[in-house]
Every structure is written in C-alpha cells, then in structure tokens.
C-alpha cells in the first residue's frame, strides 16, 4: 500500500435524509410521483435533465431557456409578401420595398399599446425634391422627415411648446440608395 501523509480522509456522507436512493439528480423536469417540481419548459418544450439542471428543446416558434419567448416570424405572416424580421429585443418588423408616385400616400396606424423604439432607420432612393417622406402624428406633436427644395434630407418637429428642424448638407435626390437613421435622445 502507498499512503500520502497529507491526503484528506475519504468523504463519507454524514446524513442521507436528502438523498434519494437510485436517483442521480433532483427531478428538475418534473416527476410522476408526488414531486413538487414542475416541467419548466413551456409551450410543448421537451425537458432534458443535466444533473440538477435542465435544458429545454423548444417546439417551433419558441425560444429561450424555458421556451417562453416567441419567435414572432414563425407565428406571424407579414401582409403582401413582406419579409418578417425578428427584432433582437422582442417583437418583429415587416420589411419590403415601396414605390411612391407623385401624390401617393401610405398610412400606418400603430397599435395604442405598442412600445416604440427611439430609432427610425430607412433606406431611400429618390429623384424628388421638396417632398414629404414620412410623418408621425401624436397627441404631443408631429415629426416629419422630408426633402427640401434642394433635395437635402430634413428632420422637422412641431409641438405645442417648440418647433425645430435639422437639415443634412448632402442632397439625396440623386437616384442612389441612401441609408438614414434618426435617433431621439433618451432621458
């Protein structure tokens, strides 16, 4: 026999009241016999035990540790053949090209309980000048994105308290694609 003088003694359990004979893990995925554990995987997800922890295999249209975060584009169809994009922090967007002629108007009504992001991004290709691109109206005022008489992009806002505008120094009325991002400051 070989012994090591500084080796700790072997571990021997002093109590076995919390040890279930024949079990290799707590029943974290639930059990058929009187378990207080409930399957943590929602929406039909399958639970796999990984020694006192679990991993969920989610059904189509769901993600997250407990299969409780929707993958919107698996559950929603965008109208008119638009492409659905899931957004990183929840929700989705429908994206597609749009062509507007001289007096064309498009209207989009936002659901009253919708939470709006503080950033608007769009790609635009135009030859027009002195034109309105998009206008947002609310009880607190109006925000308008437009092209001035020289084709420069202009951001304008009108409220009961103040009005103002910012204009770029580059004309975008050149028939080339331009990416525009408008971000509002957060408090």
Q: What's the CATH number where 81 sits?
A: 2.10.25.10
pLDDT higher at 35 or 177: 177
CATH of the domain at 116: 2.60.120.200
- pTM given for the model: 0.45
Residues 74-120: tens digit of each pLDDT: 988 888 888 999 888 778 888 888 777 777 777 666 666 666 667 77
Sign of the CA dihedral with 47 first, then 53, 55, and 61 last: positive
Residue at a domain's end among 95, 122, 154: 95
108 and 76, same domain (yes or no): no
Confidence of residue 19 (pLDDT cuts 50, 70, 90): low
Q: Is residue 63 part of a domain?
A: yes
**pLDDT band, very low/low/confident/very high, at 41 (cuts 50, 70, 90):** very high
Give domain status of residue 74, yes or no: yes
Angle at 90 between CA 89 and CA 91, to 5 degrees: 135
**Domain boundary at 73, 95, 117, which?**
95
3-state helix, strand, coil in the chain (%, to 5): 5, 35, 60
Let me know if residue 11 belongs to a domain. Answer: no
Q: Domain residues for 67?
A: 16-95
Is the domain of 80 the same as that of 161?
no
User: How many domains does one find in the chain?
Assistant: 2
Contact 67, 45 (CB under 8 A): yes
Determine the pLDDT at residue 12.
57
Task: Supply the DSSP symbol for 28.
Answer: T
Radius of gyration of the chain (CA): 29
User: CA-to-CA distance for 62 and 22, rounded, in angstroms?
Assistant: 34
Residue 12 half-sphere exposure toward CB, CA atoms < 13 A? 3
Spell out the residues 6+ positions from residue 129 whose beta carbon is closer than 8 angstroms to its own: 147, 148, 149, 150, 151, 173
Distance of alpha carbon 39 from alpha carbon 66, whole angstroms: 9
Say if residue 158 is in the same domain as residue 123.
yes
* Last-in-domain residue among 51, 72, 95: 95
- Together in a domain, 58 and 127: no
Judge whether residue 58 has pLDDT over 90. Answer: yes
């Amino acid at each position: 026999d070989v012994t090591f003088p500084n080796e700790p003694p072997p571990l021997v359990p002093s109590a076995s009241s919390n040890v279930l004979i024949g079990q290799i893990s707590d029943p974290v995925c639930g059990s058929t016999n009187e378990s207080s554990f409930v399957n943590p995987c929602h929406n039909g997800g399958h639970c796999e035990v990984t020694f006192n922890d679990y991993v969920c295999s989610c059904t189509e249209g769901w993600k997250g540790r407990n299969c409780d975060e929707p993958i919107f584009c698996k559950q929603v169809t965008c109208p008119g053949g638009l492409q659905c994009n899931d957004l990183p922090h929840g929700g989705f967007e429908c994206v597609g090209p749009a062509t507007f002629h001289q007096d064309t108007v498009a209207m989009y009504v936002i659901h009253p309980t919708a939470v709006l992001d503080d950033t608007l991004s769009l790609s635009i290709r135009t030859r027009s000048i002195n034109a309105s691109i998009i206008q947002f109206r609310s009880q607190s005022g109006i925000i308008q994105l437009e092209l001035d008489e020289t084709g420069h992009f202009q951001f304008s806002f009108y409220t009961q308290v103040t009005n103002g505008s910012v204009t770029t120094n580059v004309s975008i009325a050149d028939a080339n694609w331009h990416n525009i991002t408008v971000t509002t400051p957060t408090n």
